[in-house]
Amino acid sequence: MMKTMNDLFGRIKEAETIAIGGHIRPDGDCVGSCVALYLYLKKNYPDKKVSVYLDHVPQEFMFLTGTDAVISAKGVETCFDLFISLDCGDLSRLGDAQALFEQAKDTVNLDHHITNEMFAGTNLVEAQRSSTSELLYEYLEPEKIDKDIAAALYTGIIFDTGIFRHSNTSRRTMEIAGHLMEYGIEHWKIIDESFDQKTYIQNQILGRCLLESILVLNGTLIVSCVTQKTLDFYEATPDDLDGVVDQLRTTKGVEAALLIYETGVQEYKVSMRSNGVVDVSKIGAFFGGGGHKKAAGCTMHGSFYDVINNLTEHIEEQLLNKE
Ligand code: AMP
Ligand code: MN
Ligand code: MN
């Protein structure tokens, strides 16, 4: 069920210099899809000059072959023939690579966010897909994939599906994961080392977030806040908060979970998860962010209380309208 050649690879064939980039604060799907496409092009199109840009690679994905090629776009001024944006819903989320995207002669936007703003020359967006890695696989020729490429795509899929547990997991997702296993990847090891394992610090922060969480809206919403001071105390970075909001969401009785952490003076990153009734992508988009129905995010300003109040209002409204 390979996609037609003219959409992604039609663009690639016409380009000599290609840049690949994904969203800021990259997650498993973002790193996985970017590295998979980078390796695939290096292997099968050796004459093309390919660069891959991300603001950083979280430690747990560094085991993937190809992550050592990832560089920062800060200060880079190259004019590429083609820029391929992966797993990124809007242009500003490309961070430093946004300038490279804007200068590029041709652009592709391959993504699965429902809030995608269709900002490229060619937009290959399928919101029903579990992950960008799953969608990217559909464009690749199976015989040109190798073990390293398969490992990167598999990592992307397991991250965005919570190891095939979220409702975005389809029969096709499982089929693709099955195909990827045939390249000899150590799938159990990928899951254990990049998804399950937590550093001591990460577990401590998780514990602290659970301990300090509050229930509002009659127990239907759970909220936890992390100050910069707390992050500093544990010598933690925002990457160390990965998975915390997902754990909050598992609290019995809640419809939605919020993790709010300080990123600057009166500036906060909000991570939202829903069990299905609340569409958090709408709330994310309202506050200038985006995402999916059950997982979304945005950046907000004010005090913790302003942020909680503003978000709670939207969640309550949706809950009342659904009754
Ligand atoms: P997170 O809560 O950061 O794990 O993000 C959940 C989902 O929402 C992911 O698919 C993100 O790509 C998306 N997302 C998070 N923050 C933003 C934002 N500020 N703008 C657009 N999408 C976001
Ligand atoms: Mn992502
Ligand atoms: Mn994704």
Q: Residue whose CA is closest, atom 4 of ligand 1? A: 271
Q: Residue whose CA is closest, atom 18 of ligand 1? A: 289
Pocket test for ligand 1, best of 24, 25, 27 (most atoms within 8 A of CB): 27
Helices assigned H by DSSP within 66-144 = 98-103, 132-139
Summarised one tens digit per residue, pLDDT across range 62-90 is: 999 999 999 999 999 999 999 999 999 99
Backbone angles phi, psi at 6, to 5 degrees: -75, -20
Rounded to 10 deg, the angle between the 132-139 and 28-44 helix axes is 20
pLDDT-derived band at 322, boundaries 50, 70, 90: confident
Helix or strand holding residue 32 (H, E): helix 28-44
**CA–centroid distance, residue 26 to ligand 3 (Å):** 9
Assess whether the C-beta atom of 291 lies below 6 angstroms from ligand 1.
yes
Reply yes or no on whether the pLDDT at 1 is more than 70: no
The number of C-alpha atoms within 13 Å of 183 and in the hemisphere containing its C-beta is 19
Q: Give the end-to-end CA distance of the chain in Å, rounded to a whole number.
A: 41
Give residue 262's pLDDT: 97
Give residue 39's pLDDT: 98
Nearest ligand 1 atom, CA 242:
4
Can you tell me the distance from the alpha carbon of 12 to that of 38, in angstroms, rounded to the nearest whole number?
12
| 95 phi-psi bin (left φ>0, alpha ψ -120 to 50, beta other) | left
Summarised one tens digit per residue, pLDDT across range 239-296 is: 999 999 999 999 999 999 999 999 999 999 999 999 999 999 999 999 999 999 999 9
Q: Residue whose CA is closest, atom 20 of ligand 1? A: 289
Give residue 3's pLDDT: 65
Rounded to 10 deg, the angle between the 28-44 and 147-161 helix axes is 160
**CA–centroid distance, residue 28 to ligand 2 (Å):** 7
Give residue 6's pLDDT: 62
Residue tagged 């997650």 (tokens): 27
Nearest ligand 1 atom, CA 25:
3
3-state secondary structure of 254: coil
C-alpha closest to that of 212 among 167, 157, 259: 259
